[in-house]
Amino acid sequence: MTNPTLLPQARLGSASADPEPAASFGRSQPLAAKLLFGLVLSGLATVVVAEETRLSEFVGKAYDADSGTLLYTEQHSLELVDGVPQQETVRYLTPDGDALAQKDMTYWQPARPAYRLTVVDPQRTETVEPEDSGVTIESVESGFLDWSDAGNYVIDGGFHYFILDHFDTLLAGESVELQFLAPTRTRWLGLRLRPVEQADGRLLLELNVRNRLLSLVISDIELTYDIQSQRLLRYAGLTNLPKPGGGNYIANIDYEYPGDEQP
């Protein structure tokens, strides 16, 4: 039978008589330090990964290239995280404010967004879904296109971010080649982007088709960028918006950015 008087005597004994608690405390110090260090690192990691989300809204006004008549307006709403595009909605409106179309984009990669375009007239829906092995297209024609090892692949509004990635090269006077998705034909279209002029703080670029036969039927496109802000100021040429009666609009689109907004 246990003698109850021995238990309090053991707890009240000297450290030399019972060294186990002191040894246990000594072993717990590194563990406590590790836990504390881990908490500090965790706090630092939280600071490092903090992300800035920003909504950028801007407008494009599309004018007839010949008459200068307003054809439609683009209303862009773009979400960026730490300056990287995430999602964008573009509403296309008639001069009277009626809906022409809406495009919803998710940036799988900045130069290769997934998107869904819904057109009112002609009534039509077009979807493009990039993935690791290629891109799935549902449009006038549907299919799947592989990525290959060669070529800079660009989809729709990702063209702007492709230009930003090569802005220094273009400023240096060098041309850049790319493969642009033509969804209605389910094919890649080889294009060349070349700098034409730098004047008054602006960079004028010309986009043309590399295939000689196709270049006879597809006119060059001109883009004007502000060099300091790298904003797109004007797009002139064939657009990706279908028009009633067939074909796509050919327009001069002037972009307006309220305040310090920059896409």
- pLDDT per residue over 191-246, tens digit each? 999 999 999 999 999 999 988 777 666 789 999 999 999 999 999 999 999 988 88
In this prediction, what percent of the chain has a pLDDT beyond 90?
Answer: 70
The sign of the torsion formed by the CA atoms of 37, 40, 46, 47 equals negative
Please name which of 188, 184, 77 lies closest in space to residue 125, comparing C-alpha atoms.
184
The sign of the torsion formed by the CA atoms of 211, 131, 239, 225 equals negative
Break the chain into its structural domains and give their ranges: 6-48, 54-256
Cα 121–Cα 125–Cα 129 angle in degrees, nearest 5? 150
Confidence of residue 38 (pLDDT cuts 50, 70, 90): low
Is residue 117 pLDDT above 80, yes or no? yes
pLDDT tens-place string over residues 124-143: 999 999 999 999 999 998 99
Is residue 18 pLDDT above 80, yes or no? no
pLDDT at 203: 98
Span 17-46, mean pLDDT?
48
* CA gap 38, 28 in Å, rounded: 15
> What number of other Cβ atoms are within 10 A of residue 235's Cβ?
22
pLDDT at 64: 96
Is residue 110 pLDDT above 70, yes or no? yes
pTM score: 0.78
Span 110-124, mean pLDDT?
96
Bridge-based pairing of strands 176-182 and 153-154 is parallel
Count the residues in the chain.
263
pLDDT at 218: 76
Question: Which H, E and C letters describe the chain, residue by residue?
Answer: CCCCCHHHHHHCCCCCCCCHHHHHHHHHHHHHHHHHHHHHHHHHHHHHCCCCEEEEEEEEEEEECCCCCEEEEEEEEEEEECCEEEEEEEEEECCCCCEEEEEEEEEEECCEEEEEEEECCCCEEEEEEECCCEEEEECCCEEEEECCCCCCEECHHHHHHHHHHCHHHHHCCCCEEEEEEEHHHCEEEEEEEEEEEEECCEEEEEEEECCHHHHCCCCCEEEEEECCCCCEEEEEEEEEEECCCCCEEEEEEEEECCCCCCC
